[in-house]
Structure 1
Amino acid sequence: MALSSILPEGTWDSHLHIIDTTRFLQTPDTGNSTVVAGVWENVAFEISINSTNVVIVQPTRYGLDNSAALQALTAYGPERARAVVQFDPDTITPYQLQTWHDLGVRGVRFNLANSKNPNSKIPPEELPQLLQQYADLVRPYGWAIQMVIYMEKLAPLVTVIPKLGVKVVIDHFAHPILPKNVTAASEVDPYSTTGFDALVKLLEEGNTWVKISAPYRLTTDKDPEYKTLDPIIRELLRVDSTKAVFGTDWPHTDYEGLDIRPWVKHLAELTSENKTVQQRLFQGNARILWDV
Structure 2
Amino acid sequence: MSASDPGPDHAGWDTHVHVFDAAAPVRPGHYRPAHHPLADAERAAAAAGCTRLVLVQPSVYGSDNGVMLQALEASAGRHRGVAVVDPAVDDATLDRLHAAGVRGIRFNLVSPAGHAGDPGPALAALAPRLRARGWHVQWYAPAERLPDLLRWQAGSGLVFVLDHLAGLHAGLAADDPAWSAAEALAAGGAWIKLSGWYRLRAAPPYDALRPAIRRAAALFGERTLWGSDWPHTAFAPGSAPDPSLLLSPLRTALGDDALDAVRRRHPRPLYLDEPSPP
- What TM-score comes out, normalization by structure 1 length? 0.83
Q: Does 2:131 match 1:131?
A: no
Deviations 1:245-280 (A, max 9, x none): 10000001021422142121442353336x3x3343
Tell me the CA shift for residue 70 of structure 1.
0.8
Tell me the CA shift for residue 87 of structure 1.
1.1
The one-letter code of the counterpart of 1:15 is: H
Tell me the CA shift for residue 128 of structure 1.
3.4
The one-letter code of the counterpart of 2:52 is: N
* 1:185 alignment counterpart: none
Ranges of 4+ aligned residues in structure 1 off by more than 4 Å: none
* 1:183 alignment counterpart: none
Aligned match for 1:122, one of 106, 117, 132? 117
Check the 8 A contact 1:135/1:145 in 2, yes or no: no
The one-letter code of the counterpart of 2:49 is: N
Structure 2 distance, partners of 1:148, 1:26, is: 19
The one-letter code of the counterpart of 1:54 is: L
Aligned match for 1:111, one of 92, 97, 108? 108
* 1:94 alignment counterpart: 91
The one-letter code of the counterpart of 2:27 is: T
Taking the TM superposition and a 5 Å limit, the aligned residue runs for 1:143-154 are: 143-154=135-146
CA distance 1:75–1:18, shift in 2 (3 Å): same
Structure 2 distance, partners of 1:128, 1:253, is: 28
Q: Structure 1 residues 134-143 or 251-260, which shifts more?
A: 251-260
Aligned match for 1:170, one of 147, 162, 165? 162
Deviations 1:155-202 (A, max 9, x none): 1332431332221111111112443xxxxxxxx75x334412101111
Q: Alignment identity in percent? A: 27
CA distance 1:45–1:156, shift in 2 (3 Å): closer
Tell me the CA shift for residue 34 of structure 1.
5.1
Query: What SS does the aligned partner of 1:157 have?
Result: helix
* 1:182 alignment counterpart: none
Query: What SS does the aligned partner of 2:272 have?
Result: coil
Query: What SS does the aligned partner of 1:174 have?
Result: helix
* 1:252 alignment counterpart: 232
Check the 8 A contact 1:248/1:260 in 2, yes or no: no
* 1:216 alignment counterpart: 198
Check the 8 A contact 1:15/1:57 in 2, yes or no: yes
Q: Which runs of 5+ in 1 are unaligned?
A: 1-7, 180-187
Check the 8 A contact 1:110/1:148 in 2, yes or no: yes
- What TM-score comes out, normalization by structure 2 length? 0.87
Tell me the CA shift for residue 20 of structure 1.
2.2
Check the 8 A contact 1:108/1:144 in 2, yes or no: yes
CA distance 1:52–1:268, shift in 2 (3 Å): farther
Tell me the CA shift for residue 61 of structure 1.
0.9
RMSD: 2.0
Check the 8 A contact 2:131/2:158 in 1, yes or no: yes
Aligned match for 2:218, one of 230, 233, 238? 238
The one-letter code of the counterpart of 2:40 is: E
Query: What SS does the aligned partner of 2:25 have?
Result: coil
* 2:51 alignment counterpart: 52
* 1:5 alignment counterpart: none
